[in-house]
Amino acid sequence: MSKIALIGLGYWGEKILRNLVELTGSDRVMGIDTNPARVAAMARRYPSLDYRTEVGAIEDDDVEAVIVATPVESHARLVRRALSAGRHVLVEKPLATRTEDAVELAEAATRGGLTLMVGHTFLFSPRVEAVAEALRGGRIGQLAYMSTSRLNLGLYRSDINVIWDLAPHDFSIIFYLLGEFPTRIQTTARSSVQHGGIADVAFVSLMFPSGVIASVVTSWRAPRKVRTVLVVGDRGMIVYDDTNGDEPVKLYDRGVVVTDSASFGENQLTYRYGDTVAPHVAPLEPLTLELRHFLDSIGRQARPRSDGWFGVEVVRALEAADQSWRSDGLPVDLPLPPVSRTA
């Protein structure tokens, strides 16, 4: 029976391992970590798994797919090795730290007829899907702008800044909901705690081909955890609050109404205050749905929702946001991706 090799048994790898065992059974999972202590810890919880301490184990004949759950700087190297061995790959976000590497990996997967998927977990959240359904159904009319906030006190990291740590979540959500990618990005950020130029707060502005604009605020230096997405249209608004366990998504029948004025000869503004609706959202774990989607994509030879080319666009946006703040907030223009990437 073919196996799925999981590289990385740390904090997130442990969560993936739990879901994999539940989805496929322990006989189809191989756990890999170069740290023997981590392997020993997982072996106590899941003693029947096949454990290894060498990454080269992914080249074993019975391995069909590889999941990479390691630090960001190792993603490109490990994905490249897995694709070279002819393995399907799911890699945690972001796909790489450079657009050049991300494109290389996406092209390699395409040439080899292999599934390459990036773990943008929020794309598989029933909460995000509830927002997407409302947009597809025209519930709020023509979109005007989006705004997201992802704040907390920590966790401070020394390997990447707050843009690379937190913005991938919101970039992926925005790109998925809009169905398009930005053409201009501008960032204001600051490194106020750690030395070495590691930004801990960032304000990112994005412009899209449709005319929609978006803002993304990320911070490791806030008094409480905030995880919100605001979507504003000409007929209504949506607020998605991931910290609200009871009513995470709310649809507001509110907005501005423009009416013709016969007396003044100019448009008059009035405000509409309608009902607020909180649709039912299934309490399903996004990571479970993500892993199931990966396995289904392999089985059906179908393009994953967050395939390698989607991952490329997230990396392009991250690089542009990082470049902008390091250039004193100068905007960075991005070319539109080829149609073949987004079809």
Helix (DSSP H) and strand (DSSP E) numbers for the chain: 9, 15
Q: What is the DSSP string of 103-157?
A: HHHHHHHHHHT--EEEE-GGGG-HHHHHHHHHHHTTTT-SEEEEEEEEEEE----
151-165 residue pLDDT tens:
999 888 888 899 999
What is the Cα 33 distance to its own chain's centre?
24
Q: Are strands 237-241 and 88-92 parallel, antiparallel or unpaired?
A: unpaired
Question: What is the gyration radius of the CA atoms in the chain, in angstroms?
Answer: 22
* pLDDT at residue 224 is higher than 60: yes
Residue type, 168: P
Decide: 65 and 90 in contact? Cβ < 8 Å.
yes
Domain ranges of the chain: 3-121+287-307, 123-281+315-342
What is the Cα 120 distance to its own chain's centre?
3
Q: What's the whole-number mean pLDDT along residues 29-55?
A: 95
- CB count in 10 Å sphere of residue 49: 20
- Over the range 234-262, which residues count as b (16 or more CB within 10 Å of their CB) and which as e? eebbbbbbbeeeeebbebbebbeeeeeee
Judged by DSSP in three states, 10 sits in: coil
* pLDDT at residue 341 is higher than 90: no
100-143 residue pLDDT tens:
999 999 999 999 999 999 999 999 999 999 999 999 999 999 99
Fold match, 3-121+287-307 / 123-281+315-342: no
- Over the range 200-212, which residues count as b (16 or more CB within 10 Å of their CB) and which as e? bbbbbbbbbeeeb
> In whole angstroms, what is the distance from residue 33 CA to residue 31 CA?
7
Q: What is the pLDDT of residue 255?
A: 75
* pLDDT at residue 264 is higher than 60: no
Protein fold of 3-121+287-307 = Rossmann fold (3.40.50)
| CATH of the domain spanning 123-281+315-342 | 3.30.360.10
Q: How confident is the model at residue 231 (pLDDT cuts 50, 70, 90)?
A: very high
